[in-house]
Structure 1
Amino acid sequence: MSGISGLTKMSGNEHKDITKQLLGCLVNAGPKVPADAIRATRALLDFLYIAQYESHTTESLKFLQEALDEFHKTKNVFLALGARLGDGFKLPKLHALQHYIDSIRLFGTTDNCNTESTERLHIDLAKVLYEQTNHKEYLEQMVALLERNEKMRALSIRIQWQQGKTPTPRLRRPPAKEVPIGIHLAKEPNDCHMPIANIIDNHGAELFRPALRTFIAAYLKKHIAPGQTATQLQVPDDVHVWHRVKFGLANLFVVEDKVTRYTAHCAPARKAPRTQKALPGRFDTILVQVDEKSARSAGLDGKRVGQLRVAFKIPDEYNRSIFGSVTPPAHLAYVEWFSKPKSHHRDKVHGMFPVSRTYRSNGDRMAAIVELSSVVRPCQLSPKFDTSVNRAWTSENVLERAKNFFINHYSDQHMYQTVF
């Protein structure tokens, strides 16, 4: 066995998942992958993501054309590597890309112009009907079944009309529950009144206590009114802790667009409630708004990547003694910081932003407590490998063991829009 698994009968979702991680894998492949191969891949990915915008401007179409030009400029590297044989790039789908911009100008955006629209019909009119035949001379049987189903449907509508009823539309699946925009937590915390000592041990939040003290001091200084006197600085003995934070995020370029739900986990190692199976800890990375003045809806200015260690709230019984007459903060987050992404740090070949762990002079990770409302969204990082792959790294521990990463802006459409 070569250790490489082959894929057969890949679904559209699997193709999308590969697309999200493809560039991060190529970047770490070392000198075996030429720079032009990475440029061509990046250009094609940019084209795919920009083409999916639900609203276009002259500027976005310009970026779309630039991505396509860059791909055609660098694509011959795949011929040199032997990755394309035969007719080379004479592919209908590849040829169709040059017509996208004109089609968008003439007919509008590309949403609903894909094979997903007809996939449902392929299931109803081919797969389901085939299973209802005896699998011998099935085409004639499928046509007959389809005709009978249509006649029965028409008769049903006719009967309902004669009875004065409105035919009920056929629902393929229950309507999806509407997701409100914003940050959402469970009604009840996963751990009520969790001692700070346990948080430090279970969540790996080594600087939780001093970070909380610093946050409370800064919060009181910011919100205290003239003439008011700050209370004596205190830190609670315990807090309410949540293991998941959900984000309802809308398309950045379309008003009143559908809202998509994303989740950031900050759960310690534990056992599954039913099976008692050991579950590893999971502390996802997030994008945090750290500077309101320089922040924009799109772009990384004023934003910083952090690893979400704890999502919590100070219990109400502490509010009076800690905050006095000042309105207490709502939910908070303890995050461990990565370096600030800068526009001039963006790699010229693959276009990803590098970030790395940041440390204090004593070797401790830099961390802080921020208001949960300042968190923009989850943020996926791709580890940066050296000349060889560290076999000790796994999906469960790579965030803890690796120090250098790239921001993966291809993780989803909203993240792509956020970065650019």
Structure 2
Amino acid sequence: MESDVAGGNYEPFWVGFPLVDIHRCVTPDILHQLYQGVLKHLIGWMQTVMGEEELDRRIRSLPPACGVRHFKNGISALAQVTGTERKHIARILLSCLVGKVESKGIIACRSLLNFIHLAQYPSHDEETLGYLKSELDTWHKYRSFFVQEGVRENFNIPKFHSLLHYIDAIRWLGTTDNYNTELFERLHIDFAKEGWRASNKRDHFPQMVKWLSRQEKIASYDFYRSWLEEFQSHEVGVDEEAENESKEGGGDETFEVVKKKGGDNASQAIQGRMMLSKHPAEPKKSLVRILISHAAPGFLAHLKLFLNSLLPPAQQVSKHQALQGTLPFTNLDVWHQYKFSPLNLFNDDSDGIREIVKAVPICPKSHIPRFDTVIVLDTDEAESTAVQGRIYSIIP
């Protein structure tokens, strides 16, 4: 019996520690449990319910959209699907079920997708944890759909059982981004490739270890230098502030205002960064052609109101006067796309993701028009647990 145990370790290492709860040491894993586990099973079940060919046909027929990969050959032919590919599949899966799957199955699928999304929040409170529990309860209520369809006989799957422990794990260990293995796997891939390139390709393991050790020392030294420079500049600033305060007074208030202004500008620079090509796709296009080719009959009215809002308050006119006025130009340069670096739904701007928004009318180069939809968060009061926003608009 002992020899049949994997690795020959038949006695757990925590036996000598009576206060250890080994179950609390097993942390949730977004990548391998949810995307490569739960979502993998869900996709397979939906392929069985709908048929692989039908699901592939629906996925192929989806129009290209901003931030979503277009699977032109479907998903059934994919081999060794990565976590990134499953994330893109999760974004389009629900829309492909409408009209083919019963409402009970769609609700079950939606609850799992919402759970996967909510579990990745970078901060939680009792309200968001309540959302998480509500989606899990919804899944348990409607999962019998897969039993009725003959897809499953039971749900005795360890990765589905792990969903029951996510809320307690978040309360005990913090949010899941603290222990998601996706981050470390990305670093493993990068360092393995860079370390291999730095070696002479012979007896590479010792060389890769030595290279990695040097990189850690360099990173540690750079961190120390940046901390030291910041500390010294802070000391100089405090001394100058104290000197100015002793001479003029009121230094604290001025310093805080400048500091806040600098922080706001830096934040705005990150959030508002947009990139356009050097030359427009359609230079000097007439306003009338824009109305027709972009199917935007209200473009001129909104353009007038927008230009009026840019004027100083003393020069602005009423809405009626702005709409009745004429524009001082008849042509505009038109770009078909632009890039921007948005804050994602988890309020994390450190990943450096660049999205491309396109507004491409029918032209000689493209016989299929594409107008991406952008959901704009108008105020901070909008609910962020789903795809609800304050304003939605199609980029003209």
Range of TM-score over shorter length = 0.5 to 0.7
- 2:170 equivalent among 104, 129, 137: 104
Alpha-carbon separation, structure 2, partners of 1:227 and 1:105: 53
What's 1:75 paired with?
A: 143
1:44 matched to 2:112? The reply is yes
1:181 matched to 2:181? The reply is no
- Is contact 1:55–1:254 with CA below 8 Å preserved after alignment? no
- 1:234 equivalent among 300, 323, 326: 326
What's 2:393 paired with?
A: 306
What's 2:183 paired with?
A: 117
Q: Which runs of 5+ in 1 are unaligned?
A: 131-141, 169-177, 272-276, 310-420
Distance 1:234 1:35, change over 3 A: closer
What's 2:103 paired with?
A: 35
What's 2:288 paired with?
A: 197
What's 2:300 paired with?
A: 212
What's 1:368 paired with?
A: none
Deviations along 1:362-401, one digit per CA (max 9) or x if unpaired, are: xxxxxxxxxxxxxxxxxxxxxxxxxxxxxxxxxxxxxxxx
What's 2:126 paired with?
A: 58
- 2:93 equivalent among 13, 19, 22: 22
Secondary structure of the residue aligned to 2:356 is strand
Secondary structure of the residue aligned to 1:103 is helix
- Residue 11 of structure 1 and its aligned partner are, at CA, apart by 1.5
Identity of aligned residues (%): 32
Alpha-carbon separation, structure 2, partners of 1:145 and 1:217: 65
What's 1:11 paired with?
A: 82
Greater helix fraction, Structure 1 or Structure 2: 2
Secondary structure of the residue aligned to 2:166 is helix
- Deviates most, 115-124 or 38-47: 115-124
Alpha-carbon separation, structure 2, partners of 1:306 and 1:77: 36
What's 1:415 paired with?
A: none
Distance 1:301 1:37, change over 3 A: closer
Secondary structure of the residue aligned to 2:79 is coil
Deviations along 1:54-104, one digit per CA (max 9) or x if unpaired, are: 11111001111111121122212212212125xx32222111111111111
TM-score normalised to structure 2 length? 0.54
Greater strand fraction, Structure 1 or Structure 2: 1
Distance 1:285 1:226, change over 3 A: closer
Alpha-carbon separation, structure 2, partners of 1:126 and 1:219: 53
**Number of corresponding residues:** 269
Secondary structure of the residue aligned to 2:183 is helix
Q: Which runs of 5+ in 2 are unaligned?
A: 1-51, 57-75, 197-201, 224-267
Deviations along 1:147-197, one digit per CA (max 9) or x if unpaired, are: 46435766x689x99xxx9699xxxxxxxxx98202625274513332223
